Structure 1
Amino acid sequence: MNDMAKNLILWLVIAVVLMSLFQGFGKDDAKRSKIDYTTFVKEISGGQVQQVQIDGEVVKGIRNNQTPFVTYIPSPDLDLLNDLIKNNVKVEGTPPEETSFLTSIFVSWFPMLLLIGVWVFFMRNMQGGGKGGAMSFGKSKAKLMGEDQIKTTFADVAGCDEAKEDVKELVDYLKDSTKFQKLGGRIPTGVLLVGPPGTGKTLLAKAIAGEAKVPFFSISGSDFVEMFVGVGASRVRDMFEQAKKSAPCIIFIDEIDAVGRQRGAGTGGGNDEREQTLNQMLVELDGFEGNEGIIVVAATNRPDVLDPALLRPGRFDRQVVVSLPDVRGREQILNVHMRKIPLSDDVKANVLARGTPGFSGADLANLVNEAALFAARSNKRTVNAEDFEQARDKILMGAERRSLVMTEKDKESTAYHEAGHAIVAKLVPQHHPIHKVTIIPRGRSLGVTQFLPEGDQISQNRTELESSISVAYGGRIAEELIYGLDKVSTGASQDIKQASAIARAMVTEWGFSEKLGPILLTVDSNTLRSNLLSPETGRIIDDEVKFFIDKNYQRAEKILTDNIDILHAMKDALMKYETIDTTQVDDLMARVVVRPPSDWTEEDSVKAEASDKPSDIDLSKKDKPSDIDLSKEDKSSEVDLSKDDTTAEAVDKRSEDEKDKDK
């Protein structure tokens, strides 16, 4: 039952009690029939009244037929008592009501007590309803897990072998601390796990506690900070007090940068509550009193913002980097997650690991889950390689949007655009291989050209970066060659943004500009050091950025112009099949008949023949330039980057020639 339902039930109970209490006061009078005083006197004279009870001006009585009644004396009637006695009516008097001292206090203070109770109720809810009631602001919110509650071990953590080696001695210390103390060694008080999101920092911390079989306190950095100054520091003290009672144990603080940011940073000198909490944590980690047997493990994605006092030796003096897994690590992670699902024989963890570069542990877990969902939708008993392929495409490119209505003109434009990317990518040096090209809308894109690196890439050289710029402009250039400059669409906006970012980084960060040399000209990837740059340097930066873009734009344009027949043929293949893979792209580049996809059926062929799309795509009968041998490095479609005709002057000349041609 959630908190909202509990609160509603509580208020309903309070309302029912109050209504019952107030209704009880007039419960006796409600049963009596009310009569006027004249009728009352007549009934006395007629001998119909058996008994009355006089309370001031209120007369309650019972008739001979046992029916109760009530009436009110309009004014003191001195003859009434004589008439009652004369007519044999039993008369009773009520003694004055005696109210106890405690009852009178309760009645007078009831509204105030009710308000205090409501205030306590709301304050308790504001503080999370912790132990101790509404005034337990300073109590720790750390969740304690016992030795037998944690089932996670190092066998459940994969892809970070170096990190596991760094923390294994913590397990040895928690199991047997005398081995270290004999030689005068002291185990680190704090261990800081650093790494990108999803790499398994929290899982590694639980594995430490699971291996050591010790209590595990878990808390988030944001749980310390409250609306009242001093509450965070009190919670830190209480947390360490609880940990001392359970020592040896582990305290895990997730997202410690929420409370451990550098003091004095920001406008106004920082936040007093957060700084007091950090100060108390520094004292508890390494102050006058030692915390023997307590190991604090913290995790963060941003170690650069932490206070230096938090990272000094004696506190978090050991930093364990949990980085993105390599090919071998991804294979191990996939094996861990695939133990829980039934797999077909065609699923190979090593193949999937090579096809998922840059994936974190969380991404790989999501990949396995998505593949299982795809298999369940198709009512399969096992998860096969096709399901993993669909899951990877969904994660990398977004879900298919087959419900999106696209005209044949839009499909053709998208096909030319994606074909331009693919052809340039095949003919520029040192670019990632093509995995597949599709014109099925995915995510926010109308089409996608997916590249798959052959291995993990740590850094890029100048040739690779310039090839990326050329490939980015391939789609726009293809539209320009087919439809003209006036009919180019806005579909290349993201490509232009990507190419411009690469070119600017080459000039301002990576030192690839011959005019400026290897000088850092940016604070970060988006901000120029404008306060330190002269106007002349700014103009040189802009000229160099334009030089890299224009040079690679011209190269991509020449490649597509020389291979315009392949561009048309790839457009036809995309219009027919909607998605082509690397083998079909190789067929197109070799100017041979395109093989149909592996899942192509006769029904698909009938649909293709019934449409206006060509049924066979054969470049062997078309007029074409000399065949391109892709195995040679001196491809005819490549442009010599060292020639002078790629300078800014040549670009201006080309623009003037185009203007004259248009005239």
Structure 2
Amino acid sequence: MAENNKKPPNPLIKNLGLWFVILLGLVVVVNVMQGPSRSGADANTLAYSDFLTKVEEGGIRSAEIRGEEIIGKTTADEEFRTFNPGDSELVNRLRAKNVRFDARPEESRGLLAQLFFNMLPFVIMIGIWIFVMRQMQNGAGRGAMGFGKSRAKLLVAKEGRVTFDDVAGIDEAREELQEIVDFLKDPARFHRLGGKIPKGALLVGPPGTGKTLLARAIAGEANVPFFNISGSDFVEMFVGVGASRVRDMFEQGKKAAPCIIFIDEIDAVGRSRGAGVGGGNDEREQTLNQLLVEMDGFDANEGIIIVAATNRPDVLDPALLRPGRFDRQVVVGRPDIEGREKILGVHMKKVPLAPDVNARTIARGTPGFSGADLANLVNEAALLAARRAKRLVSMRDFEDAKDKVLMGVERKSMVMTEDEKKMTAYHEAGHAVVSMHEAASDPIHKATIIPRGRALGMVMRLPERDQYSYHRDKMYANLSVSMGGRVAEELIFGYDKVSSGASSDISYATDLARSMVTQWGMSDKLGPLKYADNQEEVFLGHSVTRTQNVSEQTAQLIDGEVREIVTSGYNRAKQVLSDNIDQLHNLAAALLELETLSGDEIKKVLAGEPIERGSVTGTPASRPSTGVSAIPKTGRRGGFGEPAPQA
């Protein structure tokens, strides 16, 4: 435990120390190569002939003889330096001119010392090279000689420790993985009954559902080492590097066992062998083969649990999914309304909330949101509140943040004529009135005619709970509501003034009716048969819909049934709006005045009751806008916030 408390070395200090050692080594090499310093090195060097001439002329005051080197001063008190070429008469000449001189033996080095100083520069250079290479290979093995080192990062227990308390909305996945945690905490309890530690767990789910967070929570609950690596870290341009990294990763895991190795986006290295355009990649397949051997090969890796995550389980190699490799396949799906409420509660703990914030209402209005989407929603609400100089985040901030995430930023600068605003108001009012008179329709949450993104207006309906299947009566109700906007335009403005704003409504109604006929067996003429397979496949980066071939006669029957179902919804909407034309006028007028109405306010308008607000004056664009819609492919008049049913 004491070792875990040590702080890692500062990279800046480490780099400065490295360069200091290199610089010091270079200085030593230069000094050694230049030889030992000599006294009088700064003095004037005389040619030996000039030195003899000065001696004969009496210009030398003193001299010191050190072997072949002569150092002294002239009568002008100038230092000099020269070398004796072997003149045996030098002493006699100095005596004849009364030059004061002295003699000292030449400094000599022993054989070992001389050999040491001669070899020292080479030893220092080799030492610096070894030191630099070791530094380059340390850490994650990203150096020039560290291609085969694993890039797995060890998560320190005190840094970002996550437990199951931090994971919400995926209770089934937590329960499935709780057994792994219990095994890591007390493996002997399972060994007594002959149980073996699971080799691996594969987390499967859409992006943003919390797969990585769940893996970290397993390590946090079990309090064991956690190695994190991405599937792309195994793939390199050099053949054999990925397999070497897999071996090195398991070697690290053995030293820290029991431990968890988490491989994110395992489909980057675990795709089916031999698949794909142009054949498989040899390097990737070698890496996958090594991973398969390490997980369940001849040598058992006890105490190592592999947790992997992917959102593409359909492309993984079958050998990777068999028992003995990834024994557990845990589906981490998008949360339901209960899960969304819990996830919002986790993220809202970090935000100061106003008393009017209702997490349940926000959860109802965010069907299909993942955990990451909900975290982003809370963050956007906090940013909006800060931009408005608030101290607390209110429900209005959450509603505006939801509109921004789903529809885009409010288009305040968009200029609409009065006729365009009036047509948009009647279009959205048509959706709302038909929805209020359809018993099977979901309750209306709000309606708005403020442009956002590519939509000019929106009517949003919120289901009371998450719906996993759709009944026939609800489908027909949705068809009527989708046609309400088009019918309202015809009734109010006439046949010739109908706009293209209902394009998305018509597209939704057509797709719904075709699914009812070809997939769900809701056509009396065609019977309970399936005539189409709408599973999408990805080929060369494009989504391709594979449809079952049918005869020409059957195709005509299908088109006739689709037309009849959509037309029935159109007729139903026309009947409702014709019988309640006053409600259509009143609701459109309220939308033109207030621009945004809640579900309760819409009920009051249809009942003829007044709407009480603090203030309804001022610039319309400055008032809060609410309304949710998926961003359409093209510009449109409006929509009614209903997701397409899933088979």
Deviations 1:19-43 (A, max 9, x none): xx9xxx9xxxxxxxxxxxxxxxxxx
Q: Determine the structure 1 residue equivalent to 2:178.
A: 168
8 Å Cα contact 1:414/1:447 also seen in 2? no
> Residue type of the partner of 1:416?
M
Q: Quick check: 2:151–2:233 contact (8 Å CA) kept in 1?
A: yes
Following the alignment from structure 1 to structure 2, what is the Cα–Cα distance between the partners of residues 246 and 572?
71
The residue number in structure 2 matching 1:60 is none
CA shift for structure 1 position 386: 2.7
Instruction: Tell me: CA distance 1:187–1:170, structure 2 relative to 1, closer, same or farther (3 Å).
Output: same
Query: Which one scores higher on RCO, CA 8 angstroms, separation ≥ 6?
Result: 2
Pairing partner for 1:341 from 307, 330, 351: 351
Aligned pair count reads 593
**In the alignment, which residue of structure 1 is the partner of 2:563?**
547
Whole-Å separation in 2 of the counterparts to 1:235 and 1:333 = 37
Q: Is the contact between residue 432 and residue 444 of structure 2 (CA under 8 Å) also seen in structure 1?
A: yes
2:168 counterpart SS class: coil
- Distance in 2 separating the partners of 1:226 and 1:278: 13
- For residue 279 of structure 1, the aligned residue among 289, 311, 318 is 289
Identify the residue that residue 225 of structure 1 maps to in structure 2: 235
- Shift in alpha-carbon separation, 1:257–1:144, aligned structure 2, 3 A: same
Superposition deviation, residue 482 in structure 1:
1.6
Superposition map of 1:156-195 within 5 A: 156-195=166-205
Partner AA of 2:444 in structure 1? I
Question: Is residue 271 of structure 2 the alignment partner of residue 261 of structure 1?
Answer: yes
Tell me by how many angstroms 1:533 deviates: 1.8
- SS for the counterpart of 2:178 is helix
Deviation at 1:219, TM superposition (A): 0.8
Tell me how far apart the structure 2 counterparts of residues 486 and 605 of structure 1 sit (CA, whole Å): 31
In 2, the alpha carbon distance for the partners of 1:546 and 1:65 equals 121
Q: Distance in 1 between matches of 2:77 and 2:554?
A: 109
**Cα displacement (A) at 1:218:** 0.7
1:460-492: per-residue Cα shift (whole Å, max 9, x none)?
123323333333343344344526435624x33
Matched residues in 1 for 2:213 and 2:174: separation?
11
Query: What's the secondary structure of 1:238's corresponding residue?
Result: helix
Structure 2 equivalent of residue 533 of structure 1 = 549
Contact 2:481–2:573 (Cα < 8 Å) also in 1: no
Q: 1:325 aligns with which of 325, 328, 335?
A: 335
Shift of 1:252: 0.8
Cα distance in 1, alignment partners of residues 152 and 457 from structure 2: 48
Shift of 1:181: 0.6
Kept in 1, the 8 Å contact 2:410–2:452? The answer is yes
Shift of 1:251: 0.7
Distance, in Å, in 1 between the alignment partners of 2:496 and 2:428 is 18
Q: CA RMSD in A?
A: 5.5
Q: 1:385 aligns with which of 392, 395, 400?
A: 395
Equivalent pair of 2:166/2:346 in contact (CA under 8 Å)? yes
Whether the aligned pair in 2 keeps the contact of 1:347 and 1:384 (CA below 8 Å) is yes
CA contact (8 A) 1:144 1:217 kept: yes
Partner secondary structure for residue 617 of structure 2: helix
Instruction: Find the aligned partners of 1:552 and 1:262 in 2 and give their Cα distance.
Output: 48
Alignment partner, residue 526 of structure 2 = 515
Please say if residues 426 and 433 of structure 1, whose CA atoms lie closer than 8 Å, have aligned partners that are also in contact.
no
Which residue is 2:423 aligned to?
416
Note if contact 1:507-1:541 (Cα within 8 Å) is conserved in structure 2: no
**Structure 2 gap ranges (5+):** 1-10, 35-58, 60-74, 79-113, 122-130, 538-542, 622-647
Residue in 2 aligned with 1:624?
none
Local SS of the residue matching 1:296: strand
Structure 1 spans left out of the alignment, 5+ residues: 26-46, 48-63, 68-99, 108-116, 612-663
- CA shift, 1:407, in A, is 3.5
What is the SS of the residue equivalent to 1:135?
A: coil
Once residues 425 and 606 of structure 1 are traced to their aligned partners in structure 2, the CA distance between those partners, rounded to angstroms, is: 26
Cα distance between partner residues in 2 of 1:249 and 1:427: 59
Shift of 1:394: 2.6
Is the Cα contact below 8 Å between 1:418 and 1:475 reproduced in 2?
no
- CA displacement, residues 245-291 of structure 1 (integer Å, 9 cap, x when unaligned): 00000111111112111222222332222211111111111111111
Relative to structure 1, the CA distance from residue 549 to residue 400 in structure 2 (aligned partners, 3 Å threshold; closer, same or farther) is farther
Aligned 8 A contact 2:239 2:282 in 1: yes
Tell me the secondary structure at the aligned position of residue 605 of structure 1.
coil
Would the alpha carbon gap of residues 139 and 537 (structure 1) be closer, same or farther in structure 2, given more than 3 Å must change? farther
Matched residue type, 1:575:
L
Q: Does 1:307 align with 2:317?
A: yes
Decide whether the 8 Å contact of 1:171 with 1:211 is kept in 2: yes
Alignment of 1:470-509 (within 5 A): 470-480=480-490, 481-482=492-493, 484-485=495-496, 488-489=499-500, 491-509=501-519
Q: Give me the whole-angstrom Cα distance separating, in 2, the residues matched to 1:445 and 1:496.
A: 15
Q: Which amino acid aligns with 2:424?
A: H
Conservation of the 8 A alpha-carbon contact between 1:420 and 1:560:
no
Q: 1:334 to 1:174 in 2, by over 3 A?
A: same
CA distance change for structure 1 residues 554 and 330 in 2, over 3 Å: closer, same or farther?
Answer: closer
Task: Name the counterpart of 2:56.
Answer: none
Q: Counterpart of 2:89?
A: none
Shift, 1:184, TM fit: 0.6
Secondary structure of 1:134's partner?
Answer: coil
Cα distance 1:193–1:486, how it changes in 2: closer, same or farther (>3 A)?
A: same
Mark the CA change 1:557 to 1:180 in structure 2 (over 3 Å): closer, same or farther: closer
After alignment, is 341-350 or 203-212 more displaced? 341-350
Q: Is the 8 A contact 1:216 1:250 kept in 2?
A: yes
1:183 maps to a residue whose letter is L
Query: Which amino acid in the other structure matches residue 576 of structure 1?
Result: E
For residue 549 of structure 1, report the CA deviation from its aligned partner: 6.0
Aligned to 1:648: none
Q: CA deviation at 1:348?
A: 3.6
Confirm or deny that 1:578 pairs with 2:586.
Answer: no
Conserved 8 A contact 2:177-2:218? yes
Other-structure match for 1:406: 414
Which residue is equivalent to 2:82?
none
Match of 1:616 in 2: none
Q: Does 1:250 align with 2:266?
A: no
Output the CA distance in 1 between the equivalents of 2:329 and 2:555: 43
Q: Secondary structure at the match of 2:144?
A: helix
Superimposed CA distance per residue, residues 24-67 of structure 1 (whole angstroms, 9 cap, x where no aligned partner):
x9xxxxxxxxxxxxxxxxxxxxx9xxxxxxxxxxxxxxxx9999
Instruction: Name the residue aligned to 1:316.
Output: 326
TM-score (norm: length of structure 1): 0.70
Equivalent-residue separation in structure 2 for 1:538 and 1:445 (angstroms): 37
Percent of paired sites with the same residue: 56
Contact 1:228/1:273 (<8 A) preserved: yes
Aligned-residue offset at 1:578? 1.4
**Cα distance change on mapping 1:66 and 1:560 into 2, 3 Å:** farther
Distance 2:422 2:370 in 1: 32
Q: What displacement does 1:216 show?
A: 0.4
Instruction: Decide which of 459, 464, 477 is 1:449's aligned counterpart.
Output: 459
Mapped to 1, the partners of 2:183 and 2:155 lie a distance apart of: 19
- Change in 2 beyond 3 A, CA 1:434/1:65: farther
Change in CA separation of 1:446 and 1:276 when aligned onto 2, cut-off 3 Å: same
Helix, strand or coil at the partner of 1:268? coil
CA contact (8 A) 2:533 2:546 kept: yes
Query: Aligned partners of 1:422 and 1:235: how far apart in 2?
Result: 63
| Residue 173 to residue 528, structure 1, CA distance change in 2 (3 Å) | closer
- Structure 2 letter corresponding to 1:588: V
**Cα 1:360–1:522, aligned 2, differ >3 Å: closer, same or farther?**
closer
Q: Which amino acid aligns with 2:397?
A: D
In structure 2, the CA distance between the partners of 1:311 and 1:435, relative to structure 1 (3 Å rule), is same
The 3-state SS of whatever aligns with 2:447 is: strand
User: TM-score, with normalisation over the residues of structure 2?
Assistant: 0.71
| CA drift at 1:523 | 4.3
Q: Could you tell me how far 1:554 is from its partner in structure 2?
A: 2.6
Q: CA deviation at 1:540?
A: 2.3
CA shift, 1:206, in A, is 0.9
Aligned to 1:374: 384
